[in-house]
Each structure stands twice: as C-alpha cells, then as structure tokens.
Structure 1
Amino acid sequence: MDTDVEPRTGVKRLRETGNIIEAQLVTSPQQARLAYGMRYDAYREYGFVGERPDGLFSDEYDTRPNYSTILVFRNGTPAATIRVALFDPGHPDPVFHRTQAMEIFETEIRAVVAAERRPGTAGSAIELGKLARAADAANDVEVLFAAFRAAGYIGLHHDVDAVLNAVRAHHMPMYRRCGFRVLERPRPYPGLTFQTGLMGLFRDQYAVAQHTVPFMAGMAAGDPTHQALMAGEPARLSVFSALESLAARAAPLAMPAVAAS
C-alpha cells in the first residue's frame, strides 16, 4: 500500500483513512524526540522522573545497538511508545550482553536465560520497557495492546527464549494473565521513584499466550506486519478484536500507563 510522509512527525503513514493503528521503529532523530517527549510527559505526570528542561526522557541505553524504540500511531497521530532491548550473551558485540534491568537483576536475568536456552545456543531474551502513552491516548487500551504486539514481533524476529520486563507490583496481575511469571520481587529501580519486580514469559508458553491473549493472536515471523515493522515501514496492527475478547472475561485487565525499564 502507498505511503505518505507526515510533515509534523517525519513518519511514513498509510494513505488509507479510517480507524487505523500502526507501529514503526524509530529510525531518525525527529522520531526519537517524539518518543522521548511522550515518555517524559507520561513519567513526569506520575512523578516518576524529575523536571528536565528539554522535555525529553532518554538515557544512554537508547543509543545502544541492542535497543529499539517503537512508536504507535492512531490515524497518523503519535499515541504510544515502547522500548525493546535484546539480551544476547552469544553476540560478538559485548554491548548485547547487557540490558538496563541488569542494574538490579543481573544475576537473575543471566541465570534464567541460561536455564531456558536451547541446546547449542547461548540463549537470548528481549526486555520490554519505557512504555508510555500520549496524554490524549491515556485511556486508549488499543494503542497499548498495539505497543505490546509490536514488541512481540521483535521477539519473534530474534527468535528469543524469553520476554522479560521490570514491572511495578500492582501491574503484575495483568502480566500474569498474559502468561508472565514472577521471577523476583520488587526492588528500587535506578533513576525512577518506584520499585519493580522481574517477570518473564518463556518459549514453552509462547503458543499458549498466542491462544489466550487476544492481542498476541495470529503473530508469525515473516508475516506482512513483521516484515514492514523490521523494514522501518508503518506496520498495520490488528488489535480491535482483542477488546471484545477481553470484555467477555470476568476480571478486567489493569493496563499500565507507563512501565519502568
């Protein structure tokens, strides 16, 4: 499908109009400022970070080659962002041997990835973090689902053994319902004003999660969404049916407005 470049954001968008949710990897300074500004506004709103004159929330990890940032758009308007780190202890570049959550859970992360690795491999994982929504999308569950779905495609792309996240205690029940297990209880998180515990979703539960978590259904390495996302193009994300499925369940999901790592 043809695309146009949005002048305000510098991001490609599909020409078709309607209720469209897309995700795109950040590949330019202009896109990065959109993501970092959204992060700052969300984290500052909750008092999780101090005031910053430039209105951006970024750190040294954002520039590392094992880190990717995703922007989610609703009808071409930036609505959410999430950051994904690749932990790959077998990679020749030692930068891939460390992620931010290792500042508090290094021993645990290395141990669990080693335990979950497939024979003949060093094991690998992605780490989710820096989740935030724009102020006008603060109650938009669909863009949140889209952020998680886009992050999942990065995990599929790298064929990882685990998906890890540093999670605040009151969001742990939501992650459990998505198939995550609690690995470590909350500890103070560097640079933020709250504590996080370590949670993980592992390869032996991927298929179960795709059948029980609606916004993960139908994902496959090599599908058109995966190809578009990894090429830096706008990737259409189907998450609308997920709301209907979740509404039919007894206990609602308490979706996070921001996430830590």
Structure 2
Amino acid sequence: MSSLQTATTNFIRGKARPQIQTSGITARMALDDQTKADAYAVRHASYLSGGYIDPQPGGLFSDADDLKPNSRSIVIYQSGQPVASVRLCVLDQTPGLVGWDEIPASRIFPEAVADLAANVPHGRPAKLTEINRLVRHPDYATNYQLVFILFRFVSYWLTEANADMMLSCVRRNHTPFYKRMHFGYIDGPRRYAGVKFETNLMSCPESDFDRIREEIPIVGADKKTLSTYAGLLHGETVKVFLED
C-alpha cells in the first residue's frame, strides 16, 4: 500500500489528517472550450478504465447538465497536464431563476431531494449543491491527494454559492470516505445517469461544513486563498496552494 493510500485509509478510520504535496498543482474552471475538453477527457479516461462507460466519440464524456447555467466543472492540473476534475450543480429554488431548478440527483431521487429542499432551516428558497463527476485520470488513480484537492474547490464553491447542503450520489465502495466527511445516507441504490453503476444518495447539511473544514484543513481556505480562487470565475488559472 502506498503512503497516500495509507494516509487516506487512516483518514477514513479517523486516525490521521491527510498530508498533501503542494508543488506544481493548479486549477481552472471549465469556461473555455479547451478547459471543458480537458474536463470531459479526464472523465472519459476515468470512467472507461473502470468499465463504467462505453468509448465515446473523440474520447470525451459530457452530458446535457454541462450546458446548464447551474453547472460548473473544475479541472486540476499537475505540471500543466489535466489529472482530475469535479462538477458542481446547484439546485436554487429562488423564484424566477431560470435553469437552476434541476440537478442530476433530483432526477434520480426526486422525492428525496424535494424533501431535503423543503426542510432547509433558513426560511428562504433552498440551495443544494450536488458534487458529481468527481474523477481522476487513470494514470493518477492511486494519487489520493487529488480527492482532497477536489474537495478544497468544493469547499470554495459552497462558500461562493451560499449552499444549504451538499449532496452526492455515491458508489457503495466510496461511502466510508463520505461518511468520514459527515455525509449521511438518504436513499438508494439507484442507477446514476449515463454510467454503468448504482449510487446511494448522501447529504451533508450546512451545519457540518465548518466541522469538515476544521478536521481537514486543506478542504478549508483562508481569506487570501478565497480571494485568489475568485479568479476561477473569470477563467483564470490559479495555484491550488498559494505557498507553492
């Protein structure tokens, strides 16, 4: 077992915090055509290597949600090469907001997601952020630090979106990790759209966001880092770790 695997296993078991190598790692939001292609190519390589999809034209894997205004993908680069990606889809029930009323999880688990949205505690329209298409290139399949790096940007986007809750449709073998991240089981299993596996719906309420940031420092971000990450919204390439 590699040192990264050991660190991740220990984290899941509550024994240690992950140690992250910070050198040469950057991120970019998929706003331009090239970054979108990088995200879709990493997805395709990851899912194809696991047998979860059939080969797609051009070696790219995308879907209709990538074109919606409530969807954002982030690509992680190691020395300029795309190595990982995650997509975040926001269900925002603000009246009159067009194109934000559906996320993949709400199609797969409509009753459960509707119930979660109806019971957010703030007395305002719900904002639920779904984490999906979280992938690593197969050449980096044992690089577990990339998972924590992806969650660093999930944390940033939760702050930016002022989300009430995180949702994720999680494969069974990944549920211990998500439980350690304070996600709880909601429903499932059911088949996730476009891929050959079943998932359970899991959720983490806003009340647990600070616990995650405290327990996993690399998931949080200080004000200087958050300010730098704001450049993502304009298509800038940012360093994942400012001390690099």
Does TM-score exceed 0.5, indicating one fold? Answer: yes
2:77 corresponds to 1:73: yes
What is residue 28 of structure 1 aligned with on the other side? 32
Q: Unpaired segments of 5 or more residues in structure 2?
A: 1-21
Is the deviation greater in 221-230 or in 149-158? 221-230
**TM-score (ref. length: structure 1):** 0.79
Judged with a 3 Å threshold, the aligned counterparts in structure 2 of structure 1 residues 222 and 135 are, in CA distance, closer, same or farther, namely closer
What is residue 96 of structure 2 aligned with on the other side? 92
SS at match of 1:116: coil
1:59-89 CA-partner distances (Å, limit 9, x unpaired)? 1111111101110012222110111101101
What fraction of aligned residue pairs are identical, expressed as a percent? 26
* Higher relative helix content: 2
Residues 77 and 84, structure 2, Cα contact 8 Å, conserved in 1? yes
Q: How does 1:101-116 map to 2 (within 5 A)?
A: 101-116=105-120
Q: How does 1:97-176 map to 2 (within 5 A)?
A: 97-119=101-123, 121-176=124-179
Aligned residues: 222
**Which of these residues, 182, 185, 190, is aligned with residue 188 of structure 2?**
185
Residues 40 and 60, structure 2, Cα contact 8 Å, conserved in 1? yes
Aligned partner letter, 2:174: H
Residues 146 and 239, structure 1, Cα contact 8 Å, conserved in 2? no
**In 1: Cα distance, 2:222 partner to 2:99 partner:** 29
SS at match of 1:95: coil
1:20-47 CA-partner distances (Å, limit 9, x unpaired)? 2221101111111111111111101111
Aligned Cα RMSD in Å?
Answer: 2.1
SS at match of 1:96: coil
**In 2: Cα distance, 1:66 partner to 1:175 partner:** 23
Aligned partner letter, 1:156: T
What is residue 3 of structure 1 aligned with on the other side? none
1:79-116 CA-partner distances (Å, limit 9, x unpaired)? 10111101101152342010012221111112112212
**In 2: Cα distance, 1:153 partner to 1:200 partner:** 17
**TM-score (ref. length: structure 2):** 0.84
Q: Unpaired segments of 5 or more residues in structure 1?
A: 1-17, 241-261
Aligned partner letter, 1:97: D
